[in-house]
Amino acid sequence: MRWFIFIIIVAVADYYAFQSLRTITKSNWWYILYWVFTVAVIGNFVYQFYGFSRSDGFSHTNAYAVGFLIALVVPKLVLIAVMFTEDVFRVPQGIYSYFMQGSDNGDSVKHFPARRKFISQIALGLAAIPFTSILYGMYKGKYNFKVLKYTLHFDDLPKAFDGYKLTQISDIHSGSFDNIDKVKYAVDLINEQQSDVILFTGDIVNNKATELEPYVPIFNKLKAKDGLYSVLGNHDYGDYVRWNSEDDKKQNLENLKSLQKQIGFDLLLNESRFIEKNGERIALVGVENWGKGGFKKAGDLKKASEQINKNDFKVLLSHDPSHWDAQVVNDDYHYHVTLSGHTHGMQFGIEIPGWFKWSPVKWRYKRWAGIYEELGQYINVNRGFGYLAFPGRVGIWPEITVIELKKGSQKANA
């Protein structure tokens, strides 16, 4: 029944959007092309998800079915919005004409002003913007890696770490990749930054450890003189698929931990490590996933910090940025830098670096992309290395973050 309702709603909305095309052309070929594309996309979506089983996970064909549906629906929402705006004026005119001039033998349709061609042209032109943007995001945007560099200043940074560089990556989601050469390129780009340490903040897979296996020989090329460290994200626990048994689920997590070790990551499971230099040190603290809104809360900040001192300079790895506001920023231990991910910036938005950034995800997460500061502490929310569900990115590009720590009191510079 839900599929029937879905198709009826889409068909009604589609026919309304179709009016813009009818206004500017009388060619049956364009009409046929419009409906063939529409039926093919909707039909493929229904085919991919009718009887969808969570035990199988979310495949590439599922992702592209979602992607093409979005490419179909979003532009048509623009068309509908413009056509409806025209009808706000057109319908009252028709009603007024009908009652003031008479029914004219019952033919009420002729009282409505004809749709204006230039309005339909505007509607189609506006709809073309999200249509081409979404297709670009699926074809190239998802691998349009950007290196974002920040400098953070701290009065209490140990002098030996003045100029110390961290590279953060997050949300690899290896099960979504469909171009291994682009992943190789991104790994080379990470190594080119020549940072002192590489920190990964969770979600290395969508659901299953097997997704990571083809990419282990690529990611184990990552190099940093002080090592590679990681934490788990909500997707790494395998909570979003149905397993044959709880033992299978536990084994999947153990396999994932083993693969991370093969890559070279030191996986921090509510643990800490010290990086020492010239008799001074900074602490790396890693918590398991902790997220608001129904997400797993395996993270234990107190346990992770048991081996460090309150006065240590601290870099915290915590996958979900909601953890920062809920537990971290007001903690007595004062975590100087927190590195998170999780939001992906929703893989959709508008950014003009240094001037403007917007994404619908801002209505869900207070900290959703970039650097935020409060009480002398910073959090960076990485936009993610990979992608999930929608097989693309529009305006919010995959990110490699490089943070340089400087001794002093100047504010953050991007």
Average pLDDT of the residues of the chain: 90
State mean pLDDT over 306-313: 96
Which whole number is the average pLDDT over 258-264? 98
Strand partners for 348: 394
The least confident of 76-80, 115-119, 233-237, 297-301 is: 115-119
CA separation for the pair 392, 144 (Å, rounded):
10
pLDDT of residue 107: 52
CA–CA gap between residue 348 and residue 398 (Å, rounded): 11
Within 207-320, residue ranges assigned H as helices are: 216-219, 246-263, 301-304
pLDDT, one tens digit per residue, over 38-89 is: 999 989 998 888 777 766 778 889 999 999 999 999 998 888 888 877 776 6
Query: Domain-by-domain residue ranges, the chain?
Result: 2-139, 141-407
Q: Report the pLDDT averaged over residues 331-359.
A: 95
d(CA 28, CA 200): 54
Joined tokens for residue 376 = 């002398």
Res. 188: pLDDT tops 60: yes
Question: Domain 141-407: which topology?
Answer: Purple Acid Phosphatase; chain A, domain 2 (3.60.21)
Provide the pLDDT confidence category of residue 103 given band limits of 50, 70 and 90.
low
Q: In degrees rounded to 5, what are phi and psi of residue 71?
A: -65, -25
Q: What span, in angstroms and rounded, lies between the C-alpha atoms of 77 and 377? A: 42
Closest CA to 324 of 336, 312, 313: 336
Sheet containing strand 146-154, strands side by side: 146-154, 399-407, 164-169, 197-200, 228-230, 265-267
Q: Residue 15 has what pLDDT? A: 79
State the DSSP H helix or E strand holding residue 189, giving kind and residue range, or none if neither.
Answer: helix 180-192
Integer Cα distance of 41 and 88 in angstroms: 30
Q: Residues with Cβ < 8 Å from 296, sequence gap 6 or more?
A: 234, 237, 239, 288, 289, 290
pLDDT of 169 higher than 60: yes
Sequence-distant contacts of 210-217: CB under 8 A, at least 24 apart: 210/255, 211/174, 211/175, 212/174, 212/175, 212/256, 212/259, 213/259, 214/174, 214/180, 215/172, 215/174, 215/177, 215/180, 215/183, 216/259, 216/262, 216/263
| pTM for this entry | 0.90
Of 121-125, 133-137, 376-380, 394-398, the least confident? 121-125
Give percent above pLDDT 90 in the chain: 71
pLDDT at 100 over 60: yes
pLDDT tens digits for range 201-213: 999 999 999 999 9
Q: Is the pLDDT of residue 111 over 60?
A: no
